Amino acid sequence: MNITTFNVNSIRARLDRLLAWIDDRSPDVVCLQELKCTEAELPRAELERRGYHVHISGQKSWNGVAILAREPLTDVEIDLPWPGDVQARGISARVGGVRIVNLYVVNGQDTQSDKYPYKLEWLRHLREWVAPRAGEPMVVCGDFNIAPADLDVYDPAGWKEQVLCSTPERQALQAVLDLGFTDAFRKLHPDRRQFTWWDYRSSGFEQNKGVRIDHHLVSAAAWTRVLDVTVDMDERGRPQASDHAPVTLHLRG
């Protein structure tokens, strides 16, 4: 089984690209973020025609997450990481013996913005939601909007203590990992400088000026199934692509 996390940066604006990628790659599970649409606006028919079961937590114009899977999804939760959060940023379901949690973590804008404390609060709630479930076979994936270490940033000095790379954000991510999770890409590729997001401005992708902010955190109970994590650079380089590359976790079985 493979599980792809993919921030599509508007599913309606990039539907043709997404469908072409699905047709070419035939992924088992796709966790989409930044849909920028409601459930009624989701192009569900096109996805279902390709053999996917679809569950969404949508929001008009902003946010929004969905899980697509070849197998039926069970135990679906959409009101996370805490009940009543007004932003549609989390969805969870079981598939293939694994609980999959798909997240679009708050960006935070900058460390002086009022969105930054909300990001840290959101991450605290995420840890509280994950903690009682941490013993399960689980993959927590998505756009975390956090680069865990300087190796994950093209210019560590320029990004030092900026949003995505600030110490409190990194500590909040580590607090989730400390529940017994492993950053799958970094464990498998300890020295590789690989990015997953590149700014559209200033030819960021062409110059490989990126950051690694799209992750798969794998629980101890699921780790024995992990084979590899791959980043689809070809898709990111195509015309009208999202600013994120699809990132795929490959599992046995």
Catalytic residue among 28, 52, 116, 143: 143
Catalytic residue among 28, 104, 116, 152: 104
The token pair at 218 is 């794998």
- Write the DSSP assignment of 133-156 as a string of letters: GTTSSEEEEEE-----SGGGBS-H
Cα–Cα distance between 62 and 8 in angstroms, integer? 12
The token pair at 1 is 């089984």
Sign of the C-alpha dihedral, residues 75, 51, 28, 102?
A: negative
Whether 16 is catalytic: no
Cα–Cα distance between 144 and 131 in angstroms, integer? 18
Cα–Cα distance between 173 and 165 in angstroms, integer? 11
* DSSP state for residue 213 in the 8-state scheme: -
Match 């609980």 to its residue by tokens.
99
Kindly give the interhelix angle for 167-177 and 115-130, rounded to the nearest 10 degrees: 10
The residue among 49, 35, 100 whose CA lies nearest residue 74 is 100
Whether 104 is catalytic: yes
Positions marked active-site: 104, 143
